[in-house]
Amino acid sequence: MENGRFRSGITFDRHGGGELWDPWGNHYRVIMDTDGDGRVKAPEWFTKSEFIPQSVIVWSPGRDGDDATAEDNVVSWPFDD
């Protein structure tokens, strides 16, 4: 966060770029559909399916900062997929 501004979970750098931060000080993780098929490959810790039918997914590893303990992860997609 050097030479940047922190506001509402985003750190802005001097060039206009930024980073997304969760309430516990961890980066949000983002996966985007880059081939236009309307789905993304699920993160390794998400064992319910290989793909998630979304164009973008975002998640936080939660309070413990560990993706592998999925119980406290905060996700942008229906967790029951």
pLDDT at residue number 9: 78
- Tens-level pLDDT at each residue, the chain (81 residues): 444 444 567 788 888 888 888 888 888 999 999 999 999 999 999 989 999 999 999 999 999 999 999 899 999 998 764
Give every strand in the sheet of 10-12, ordered side by side: 5-7, 10-12, 18-20
Cα four-point dihedral sign 26, 32, 38, 39? negative
pLDDT at residue number 3: 44
**Within a domain: 29:** yes
**Within a domain: 81:** no
**Within a domain: 28:** yes
Q: How many domains does the chain have?
A: 1
**Within a domain: 80:** no
Report the alpha-carbon distance of residue 13 to residue 49 in Å, rounded. 36
Q: Cβ distance 49 to 60 under 8 Å?
A: no
Cα distances (Å, whole numbers) of residue 44 to 11, 17, 68 = 27, 27, 8
pLDDT at residue number 8: 61
The upper half-sphere exposure of residue 7, i.e. CA atoms within 13 Å in the direction of its Cβ, equals 5
**Within a domain: 65:** yes
* Domain interval for residue 25: 5-75
